Structures are given as structure tokens and as C-alpha cells.
Amino acid sequence: MKSIARLKNPVMAYDWGSRTLLADFLGRKAPLDPDAAEGPKPEAELWMGAHPKAPSRVETNGEWAPLDRVIEKNPADCLGPETAAKRSGRLPFLFKILAVEKPLSIQVHPTKSQAREGFEKESGQGVPLDARDRNYRDKSAKTEIIHAISPFRLMAGFRPVEDIVKNFQPCRSKALEGALSGLEKRPDPGGLGHFYRSLMTLGAGARAGVIQKAAAAAADSPQNETSRWVLRLHKLYPGDMGVLGPLLFNLIRLEPGQALVIDAGTPHSYLEGLGAELMNNSDNVVRGGLTSKHMDIPGLLKILDWKTGPPLPAAPEKIGKHERVFRANRQDFSLSVLTCAEKPLAARRRGPEVLLCVEGAAKIISGGAPPLVLKKGRSAFVPARAPGYAVSGPCRIYKAGLAGPV
């Protein structure tokens, strides 16, 4: 495969998704689900890539085929010889659009060594890859870039210790006193680790008491942003320790066009909004709250990064007047935003790419092939050995690919 081709992408339905956000972005009506009495299922994620769980389908010779199978048959053409060898014939990244109407689970992703260890341990225990209680479904690390399409709210990373101590004062109880006093005496990563471990391993009665105290305190100051989120989470997930997340983690609002890098080990939860997410081609996740799915608190504690303070929005690298590039720390993928006028703009590239039009209509001109037009919400795969290409608009497109130009 050596030419740019259209993609058809799977939509994943989860409880936290939206019945309108993704449909509006794709320019279509929300699909009806005749089996759901309450209406259509929430659409949560649009996947663009070659993950075997839900690969995109790519148009080749007038037919549609799963992208992972196409890459498997033509790794050097699709990925380039170097990437094909380095990544064992796998596309190194997975690109998504997230439509968040209800908060996602509080979760953490592993480093490469943690993923390899976790995968081998669970495989050795005979846990099926599709088992509900499986955390590690592959051996890949997972770092994420989240780029806001609409205003996007999330929790990410631990607050400064002094803020955590202050936030938990209304929650003081006999069960929590020792851990909270210990954090006051030792306001460092070690003290935070001891406090969080103690909090997450409280008995059922003590947990309920702490949550009720936090909700009562929030109800006394509902105008406060932290309080508003405690109350909303308490309503959505009563009895879940994730209700305490706003007291522990930084509350962040990304404006459209801003991005944040979520490193492995960083606790986070996406709260609401429409965003583009680029990550390693991995489905590894360890959850610690705000979910009915499998949670693994001991496993979560093992891979958490105890760094404190709010993460700063990623600073894009400006390439000329038309391109902004967001890079993930120590990762070999990047997310570019291209703003194109009617005059064709020659694209800088390195290896395989996924293109997604998010505004206007993009005309992709490559070699002697007929122009490929992508309207808003439409995407294409660019094989590594495809001829160079140019984009004309007016349009705005995402370009998910490897870090750095050729």
C-alpha cells in the first residue's frame, strides 16, 4: 500500500459518552438503538488506527479492509522499514476523538517496563486478554496527548500537599486522623503516598463516613469549583472513593486549541468536553474510582507517580505560519494542527500518519492520484511510502504521526 486512502472508523459506546457530541462532530444524526428503552447509546470514542480491539477500515482497490491486517501484509510500505522493525509491524500510535458527557474513571497508565511486567504476570496467571479484571492487554507503555476541541475539563496529577491537607480538614475522623496528621508532618511524596494508600484502603464504614463529610462540606460552599465537582461526582457515583478526586487532584480547564500531556503514572480523569487524544497503541489501564469496571487499588498504588502540582498545558512548536506540533515526553509520536488556506500547503512528514479534518474541507493532493477530499469528521491513512502530499482548504486538520519531520 503506497497511496493515501480513506478510513472508516469504529465508534465505541460507553456510559460516559454523549448522544450528541460525536454525532454533531461527524455531521450526522445520533444512531438509534432499538434495544435501549432510554434512547440511543452514548457514543464515547472514535478510534482511528490499527489497534486489534477495534481497527479502522481502509479503502484499498475499491474494497474496505481492517487497517491492522493491511499493515500486517505490507509493514515496510505502511510503516517504513525502520518503524516496522522497531515496532514489530505495529502502528506506534492510536488516535481518538473523545465525547465526554460524564466523568471517566480515575485511571493510571504504565511505563514500558511496568506494562511488560504486568502483561507477563497476568498472562502467566492465565487471565484471558478480554477478561474484565485484566489491566494489561499488551506490553506497551501509554502516554497521552489530549487536545481540546471544545472547552475540556479534567482532573490530572496530585494537588500540592498543602492544598490536599486543607481540602481534607472537613473530613477529619478517627479513621482518617492518623493518615492526615502524618501528611501534615511529612508533606512530601512519601507522606502523600502513605496518606493516599491509607485513604484508599479504609474499611467500608470509614469510607462512607469520609465521603459523606466531603459531600456535606461541599454542599456548604456550592459556588466553589472543587465543591461543585464533589457534589456532581457524589450524585453520579454515590459511595465511590473517586468522589474525593477533586480534593486530591488538580482541576484543569483546557480552552479550545490547548493541549496537555498525560505521562505514564499520572492519575487522571476526563470530566467533560470534546477532545482529540493521541497515545501509544495500547489499551493498558489501571482504574481507581468513578467506575463500575474492574478496579485494582494495589496495582494502582504500584505505578502511581506521586509528583504534585498542576501540569502545565503543552507548548506547541510552531512550524511556519500554518502548523502547530504537540509532542509527548520521550515518545515517538506527535499531534499537529494544520490550518490551510486555498493555496496548497506542502506537508512535512515522517512515516505513517492519520489525517482528520476538523473544520472546512481538506483537499489532499498526492502524486498523480486524484485529489482526496476530506470533509469535517472524515479521515485518511498516509502510508510511509506514499508520495509527498499537499493540503488546500480552507480547512483545519489534525495530523497524528511520528515525532519530527523527515
Q: Which of 217, 263, 245, 272 is nearest to 98 (CA)?
A: 272
Active-site residue identified among 134, 159, 287, 396: 287
Question: If DSSP codes are grouped into helix, strand and coil, which group holds residue 4?
Answer: coil
User: Is 144 a known ligand-binding residue?
Assistant: yes
Judge whether 322 is annotated as a binding position: no
Q: Half-sphere exposure of 247 toward its Cβ, with a 13 Å CA cutoff?
A: 27
State yes or no: is 287 an active-site residue. Answer: yes
CA distances 350 to 254, 334, 383, 387, 389, Å, are 28, 10, 10, 12, 12
Alpha-carbon 103 to chain mean position = 13
What is residue 168's DSSP assignment?
T
Query: Does the annotation list 258 as a binding residue?
Result: no
Per the annotation, does 212 bind a ligand? no
How far is CA 140 from its chain centroid?
15
State the CB neighbour count (10 A cutoff) for residue 344. 16
CA distances from 19 to 22, 125, 151, 208, 308 (A): 7, 39, 18, 32, 35
Q: What is the DSSP letter of 178?
A: H
Cis preceding linkage at 394, omega within 30: yes
Q: Give catalytic residue positions.
A: 287
> Residues forming the annotated binding site?
107, 109, 144, 268
> Residues forming the annotated binding site for Zn(2+)?
107, 109, 144, 268
